[in-house]
Structure 1
């Protein structure tokens, strides 16, 4: 693939919308025809499958009630009740059930060959953000990716490993270092924009309101607009969020009071009886249902980057 294909997903629209249909079989066919058999993930808590379990930090979710709806009800470190977006995307493409963390000590050969996540909860656009929480900076994530490339070459040989990485789907859930990723071999890159931060339960609680905080949403919108402009300059494809979605509870999370608890403060808390009605699992992170809705809508556009 000679040109970089990029998609921007403006995630977590908090107004009602209806998901459009898509053809899973066609997507799987495109992935197979173009040898997209590997997914490599970078970013923050939205895509961290448990790398922080191996770090000395409170920013982790390897305890109940996280993972209540995951395989075997296991709390893997994913800050949700179930799977994250990378797991769901890979599952649709049919080449991986879940995307493991690179720091997982139980990684097997087939895991390495089919991708990994280098993401770290509480990481941010500035390395200082990650350092404050003692988690992986994006710089460190990229260094681990270099280690991954070396290991993959040892397993498969240089030519085959480099071909796999060149054909891989890269997912960056931070939004600011896509061109760094391209220089390291990324050719199919999905970039996740900032959600409407002012609608997160934690932000509403901190600001003492039950309504979305406009100033935070405007900041996110401004950031996404600038990222979109940069991506369009590099032949980007914009993945539009549909106009309607249906949830009963949009202002609180499912864990505890739903207003303040997340990560360590969610530990051992009671959860809502019907998480399908909730956008958020805790006061900051979405439920698996919300991730699935976003992925379902994004898949049609993701299909565009599978074609050389």
Structure 2
């Protein structure tokens, strides 16, 4: 019996929402964090990288591309589903040219968030800089295709935004600055305001088909469960409630912007319930482990701590819901 991998589940969630809009898609344009980063962090001075094994071991050719995954990320599957390239290239990768980027480009940076302060924690690309790269890309695309064709591609492209978990787990709950400045409810509103401004900005720049992804059950990520000793390694309910509350705010934002911005087709993709069900009932979905990850000991490793030299990573990622401490494993699986 064939059972869906996490990537397939997320891809289907996205497609079901996207197909409610205009299904004609000329290009995939990606903003966000490690959930969709296809290698931009390889080219910036940060410790948060994944361009080494065991990352990428199930990617075509077994290459570690800088994706925080054993294989492809959801946006790669989305691109392929629309008949475009099988892997969306990273904008900062010098191996690619504007010809490659004409049908898909990724500006995402692992470790970033809506909040600019979040990107400073690990010295990654802030969301405002992703937007600046996009503006640069627009200019290059018009030079390459001509103004009319370039604008047509930009208008028919699907824009995918996947971001937000780091704002809470790497910033608000880890460092004192934001938590002393905002209550958790105030911080959620602060982030939702940034999301609103970002979507409005790319709309003004020509985006019309936009997918906004909500938060997963972040209290059930392996690192959070490892540190939750008080409940014996269970999910942190407070974090999960914050994720659900924030998703409700994003859903309301989507409804508001669709009314305010003429011609906008903005969809909200909420992965929370589906992923929570998989985490709580892994065997029903063909997995063996959901409390620990494949990489390293599966409890706290990510990036260099997942290095192949550790010799601790699992032999079969298909048995694990998570690849590393916060990243879902992506390999398509058939049983």
Question: Greater shift after overlay, 157-166 or 227-236?
Answer: 227-236
- In the other structure, the counterpart of 2:206 is 185
The Cα shift of 1:178 comes to 2.3
Question: Greater shift after overlay, 170-179 or 240-249?
Answer: 240-249
Taking a change above 3 Å as real, the CA distance of residues 231 and 267 of structure 1, as seen in their structure-2 partners, is same
Aligned with residue 71 of structure 1, among 36, 60, 76: 60
- TM-score normalised by structure 1 residue count: 0.81
- TM-score normalised by structure 2 residue count: 0.74
Aligned with residue 219 of structure 2, among 163, 185, 198: 198
Whether the 8 Å contact between 1:178 and 1:191 is mirrored in structure 2 is: no
Measured on the aligned residues, the alpha-carbon RMSD in Å equals: 2.6
Does 2:249 match 1:226? yes
- In the other structure, the counterpart of 1:286 is 328
- In the other structure, the counterpart of 1:47 is 36
Q: 1:30-83 CA deviation, whole Å, 9 max, x = no partner?
A: 74xx3x121100011111101000011111100011001001000000001000
- C-alpha separation in 1, matches of 2:153 and 2:241: 39
Three-state SS of the structure 2 residue aligned to 1:146 is helix
Q: 1:152-198 CA deviation, whole Å, 9 max, x = no partner?
A: 01101111101100110000012623223222221110111011110
Three-state SS of the structure 1 residue aligned to 2:46 is coil
Aligned with residue 214 of structure 1, among 210, 215, 237: 237
- C-alpha separation in 2, matches of 1:205 and 1:79: 20
Structure with higher helix content? 2
Does 2:272 match 1:251? no
Aligned length: 269
Higher RCO by CA contacts (8 Å cutoff, separation 6 or greater): 1
- In the other structure, the counterpart of 1:277 is 319
For structure 1, the 5+ residue unaligned runs are 1-11, 294-308
1:61-100 paired onto structure 2 within 5 Å: 61-100=50-89
Does 2:143 match 1:147? no
Whether the 8 Å contact between 1:66 and 1:81 is mirrored in structure 2 is: yes
Q: 1:76-105 CA deviation, whole Å, 9 max, x = no partner?
A: 000010000110100111111100000010
Taking a change above 3 Å as real, the CA distance of residues 22 and 65 of structure 1, as seen in their structure-2 partners, is closer
- In the other structure, the counterpart of 1:296 is none
The Cα shift of 1:240 comes to 6.0
- C-alpha separation in 2, matches of 1:237 and 1:154: 30
Whether the 8 Å contact between 1:86 and 1:99 is mirrored in structure 2 is: yes
For structure 2, the 5+ residue unaligned runs are 1-5, 165-194, 259-265, 279-284
